[in-house]
Amino acid sequence: MSFLSIQKLDKRYGTTSIFTGIDCEIARGEFVTLLGPSGCGKSTLLRCIAGLTDVSGGRILVDGQDIVPLPPQKRGIGMVFQSYALFPNMTAAQNVAFGLRMQKVGKTESDKRVVDALAMVELGEFAARYPSQLSGGQCQRVALARSLVTRPRLLLLDEPLSALDARIRKLLREQIRGIQQELGLTTIFVTHDQEEALTMSDRIFLMNAGQIVQSGDAETLYTAPVDAFAAGFIGNYNLLDACVAEALLRRTMTCRIAIRPEAIGFGGDIDAQIKGHSLLGNVIRYRVEARGVELVVDVLNRSAADLHATGTLVGLSIDDSAIREVA
């Protein structure tokens, strides 16, 4: 039986429905990501689970117990916010101690647990600093320590890394995942960043417009998108309507197809012309026109000598097994 079970969850604001009939099952100790574009209802779903907003219908079971009637204080859920939500009038240590203070944990034990929690996020020496004296990444680690020190049964993270710069984001990603695995903590991580979702999660729930469109591990989501939205949102797929695909592949097509940009290679019999390129670090992304169809092609950036200049005529090959039909 799953640890967290969301059944037929509805949420409306007045007459606007944010989502209806959300179902999902999460196992104990699992790290799942809610991935979706901004405004699709990720935060609202998380706030429903945390009890920060009322649900309009449905059940949320944790360990078999329906938590919908419980106030947020009684749910045993920890949460980390994009804005950090650190209490500005308290030091890092006081922030972390706040939950224990509310639970009336004794001073000696509280002090020890605060020290441990700050050590876990490697901020031991910053205990006496106020949030205004910490960097964004440090703030978010304090917030993480604060949400973990009360030993929640479920950890919710709402775009915790979105306000941070790329390098810190990568470091923190690993740190969060490491701590989660060490504690075996059931975790829901919300993001709109596909790379974050693909690298961190045991399982990904892809959301769009209040619906869970697809769920599965990173491999499945990346290689087998169920529909055009999934294909467009993950992995920069080339999405081609049936008639366009027919022109490109010169065979009959019955529905829309998706081709990953790295499944197209240079050196084949499809005539094409380079329209431009951009450098994405170890990958070069070309815009190419082949048989009147615009395509995106990713190739490894081996050496500058291999670079195809704009206007160059090339041949393309498309791996047949990489062509996916999508609804």
Q: Where does this chain bind another protein (CB under 8 A)?
A: 47, 50, 52, 71-73, 75, 77-79, 81, 83, 85, 87-89, 98-99, 102-103, 130, 132, 143, 146-147, 150
| Residue 72 interacts with, from ligand ADP, another protein, Mg ion, none (CB under 5-8 Å by kind) | another protein
Size of the site for ligand ADP (CB under 6 A): 10
Measured CA to CA, the distance from residue 50 to residue 68 in angstroms comes to 9
Told to check if 40 binds ligand ADP by CB under 6 A, we report yes
Tokens of 81: 């916010």
Please, which residue, 92 or 190, has the CB nearer to Mg ion? 190
**Which one of another protein, Mg ion, ligand ADP, none interacts with residue 44, CB within 5 to 8 A by kind?**
ligand ADP
Shortest distance, position 32 Cβ to another protein, whole Å: 19
For residue 48, state whether it binds ligand ADP (rule: CB under 6 A). no
Interface with Mg ion (CB under 5 A), residue from 43, 95, 201, 214: 43
Q: Which does 160 bind (CB under 5 to 8 A by kind): another protein, Mg ion, ligand ADP, none?
A: none
Tell me the closest approach of the beta carbon of residue 260 to another protein, in angstroms.
Answer: 38
* Dihedrals phi, psi of 241, to nearest 5 degrees: -65, 160
Q: Which is nearer to another protein, 72 or 268 (CB)?
A: 72
Residues recorded for the chain: 327
Q: By C-beta, is 16 or 282 nearer to ligand ADP?
A: 16
State the minimum distance, in angstroms, from the CB of residue 91 to ligand ADP: 30
Contact 35, 206 (CB under 8 A): yes
> Residue numbers of the site for ligand ADP (CB under 6 A)?
13, 18, 36, 38-44
